[in-house]
Every structure is written in structure tokens, then in C-alpha cells.
Amino acid sequence: MIGTFVRAFAVPEVRGRIIWLFAGFAIFAISVHIPIPGVDRDAWSIALQKGALFQLVGMFTGGALAKFSIAAMGITPYINASIIMQLLTVVFPYLKDLQKEGGEHGRKKIQSWTRQLTMVLALIQATIMVTTINRAVEARIFHDPSVPYFIMVITALVGGTAFLMWLGEIMSEKGVGNGVSLLIFAGIVMSYPTYVYNTFVAAFASDAYIRVTIFFLIAIFMIASIVAVTLAQRKVPVQYPKRQVGRKIYGGQSSFIPIRLNNAGVMSLIFAISIMFLPLTLSNILPPPYGPALTDWLGRWFNDRTVLYNLVYMGLIIFFTYFYSAITFNTEDLADNLKKAGGFIPGIRPGKATMEYLDKITNRLNCVAGLFLAALAVAPTLIVQLTGVQNFYLGATSLLIIVGVALDTMQQIEARLVMRHYQGFMK
């Protein structure tokens, strides 16, 4: 990895993209520290420690939520908008055709609709966020709880999300990798030093050195397993028949179809977490007596330490692993393209039989990936109960994002280096 970076900086074009990448990280870090005026941050910090309503959002914002800055909502509205647009392309044939056959025009049109939907979702999320904080938090967070001030806060939050969306697109265009994923990566990485510091402080205070050591050894093992699962793939052999042109015989070559073990990536976890946070969100929005009653029930029977919560969480992860893989990996199109190219899987008839064979393979891979992700999701709870380390948030989603984005960025840097070594036909 270090050697790749050294070689990358020797190439001017790749070096410029890496500089753009780190410049985006720096701008994001600055935005985290731009506060929204009129907020009692001491009272807000105490309120965050008592509840986990915005814990997931706070983890992805690099501490922006804790500071209640303009980037407090992070890039999550854009992610939700992208997910909704992906789902709509499956439901509506017009969007599917526009994505497949529209070319650059279709891509720009879908991207424009995604941006517009992001603004709508950001407005809704900011309104719910401000209203919930004002109603649910006992201490007064906002110094001026008036309608004009709330409008200003909502506008600042929506503007911060719009700025991060623009920054992510600039990083994708002029940098390396996916800009939005890299911003989430940066937010998680910026948050981890605080958790590590709090963990060591707690260890020194309670003399729990052995438990903390065991905790970090388990964390390293989890990271290694995530790397292995992320890189794992099933290679399906493909054979292309020989063909004769004049006196020469062409073709007859063998290849393979790489099918990733975890086709859904981190999206299944994000979907599941969004649904798991829905009851807690509703409990803070609903008026009395429904809201407090739901909050009391959730506190006793449906929190991350209960068996019911973890079973539902694992079930949702497995379901969404199959669901998202079916959306992103279309075996019917793959079988048709393979048939048109004259290729076939040895021992399998082209067409429908190939599609059924690929479906069987992907279902088996999704089963393994779903069980792994489900076990990984509930592992932090078990690890905390085993080691007693309470001050460190070891989330499966955050670890998957860190590992996945880092590996994808390194692969793209290596791909650009390979492209530079081959001069092409113009030289």
C-alpha cells in the first residue's frame, strides 16, 4: 500500500488527483468546526451522552453533530436519495431504460433528480431533527426557541448538506474514488481517535488493561475478517468457442466471471440500521401519551442489549443482503450478454439455464455474506459484554465502510498507475 502511494506521487496526473483528495478532506474537517450560532453546546453534549437517537449520524459526521456545526447532518440525505433512486429504477421501467440506454444524458438526468431529492430529504430531516431536539431534550439547547431562529438553523443544516454533496462530487471528478464514500470514510476516521482516547482513559482509571487489550485484539481480528470477506469472490469459468476466419482460427479462450462474496457491501447494514432507528425516532416525534409510552417500551424490551433487538437486526440484515444483491447484480442481463458474446459456462446451456445457475451461486454467496454481516453487526454488543469496555464504539457498519472505501481507493490508484504504463495507440 505504501509502495503504491510512492509510485502514485511520481506520476503528475495521479499526484494531482491525490492532492485534490486530501484537499477535500481538509475542507470537510474545516466545515465540521463551523458552528451554528445560538446553541448551548455544553447542554447539547450532555444530551448526546444520555441518548442514542442520532448516534449513527454522529458517527459518520466526524464530530460535527457533537459540535452542532453546519455539517451536523453529514451526507446521509444524499445517501438516502441515492438509495431511493436505485430502488425506483427497479420499479419504473422508464428510469431503468434511462439508466441503461440513456448514456451520458441519462446519467446526468438521474444525477440531477438525485440532487433535488437530496434537498427535499435534507429539509425533512433537518426539520425533524430540530423539532425532536427541542421537544425531547430536557435542557434548553437553543437560546432563542422562536420560529425565525428555527428556520435559520434548518437552512444552515440543509446548506451544510448541500455543500458536502457538492464537495463529494468535486472529489469524485477531480480526485480518486467515490467522493461521497470518502467523506463518510473521513467522518468515521475523525471520530475514532476520540473513542480510542476515552477507552484508554477508562482503562487507566479502572486498571482494566487486560480487558482493553483483549478488546483491541478482537477489533483487529474483525478488521482482518472484513478485509477477507470484502476481497473474496467466486470465479465462474467462461469458455468462448473457436471461430474460423479464412484460414485462421480465432477464439477458443477461457475467462471467468468474478462474483463478489458480499455484493450488497455495506448497504444492507445501512438499510437495517435505518429501520431499527425508526421506532426510536417515532417515540420522540409522537405526542403524549403515545411518545413516552413507546420510549418506555423501547427502553425495556427493544434496545441493543436485548435478544429481541438483535434477532430483528440480524433478520433485517440477511433480508436486505438478498434484496440489494438482487438489485445490483442482474443475472438475467449477465446471461443475455454472455450469450450474445458467444460465451458459455462449461456444462451449462446458454440463456435461461445460465441465469438459473448464476442465481443459485449468488443465493449461496448471499447466504454466507448475510450470516457474516449479521454476526458482525451483533458482535460489538457481545464484545462489550465480554470485555466490559463501554467507552469505545466498535460498529460493524463503520468498520466495513473504512475497509471497503480504503481498498476501493487503493485499487483505483493502482488502475490509474497501470493505465500510465501502457502508452496506447496514440504514441
Q: What is the pLDDT of residues 110-130, one digit of tens each?
A: 889 999 999 999 999 888 888
Which pLDDT score, from 0 to 100, does residue 424 have?
40
In 3D space, the residue among 317, 319, 324 whose CA is nearest the CA of residue 396 turns out to be 317
| Average of per-residue pLDDT across 292-307 | 77
Domain containing residue 382: CATH number: 1.10.3370.10
Cα separation, 61 vs 46, whole angstroms: 18
Same domain, 166 and 222: no
Residue 242 has pLDDT above 80, yes or no: no
Same domain, 96 and 220: no
In a domain? residue 344: yes
**Domain finish residue from 196, 228, 247:** 196
Q: Any residues with CB less than 8 A from the CB of 77 and at least 6 apart, and which?
A: 118, 119, 121, 122, 125, 161
Same domain, 218 and 182: no
- HEC-encoded secondary structure of 57-108: HHHHCCCHHHHCECCCCCCHHHHHHHHHHHHHHHHCHHHHHHHHHCHHHHHH
In a domain? residue 282: yes
Same domain, 253 and 292: yes
Q: Do residues 257 and 238 touch, judged by C-beta distance below 8 A?
A: yes
**Domain finish residue from 130, 164, 196:** 196
Range of the domain at 133: 1-196
Same domain, 57 and 145: yes
In a domain? residue 132: yes
In a domain? residue 123: yes
Burial degree of 269 (CB within 10 A; 0-12, 13-18, 19+): buried
Q: Do residues 323 and 363 touch, judged by C-beta distance below 8 A?
A: no
Same domain, 187 and 333: no
Least confidently predicted of 121-135, 204-218, 331-345: 204-218
Residue 399 has pLDDT above 60, yes or no: yes
Same domain, 323 and 179: no
Amino acid (1-letter code) at residue 410: M
Same domain, 186 and 226: no
Domain total of the chain: 2
Residue 208 has pLDDT above 70, yes or no: no
Which pLDDT score, from 0 to 100, does residue 394 have?
57
In a domain? residue 397: no
Residue with cell 503504491: 4
Same domain, 189 and 253: no
In a domain? residue 401: no
In a domain? residue 289: yes
In 3D space, the residue among 409, 413, 411, 384 whose CA is nearest the CA of residue 396 turns out to be 384
Same domain, 257 and 367: yes
In a domain? residue 408: no
Same domain, 215 and 362: yes
Angle formed by the axes of helices 352-387 and 331-340, to 10°?
140
| Average of per-residue pLDDT across 309-329 | 87
Q: Percentage of the chain surpassing pLDDT 90?
A: 13
Same domain, 243 and 170: no
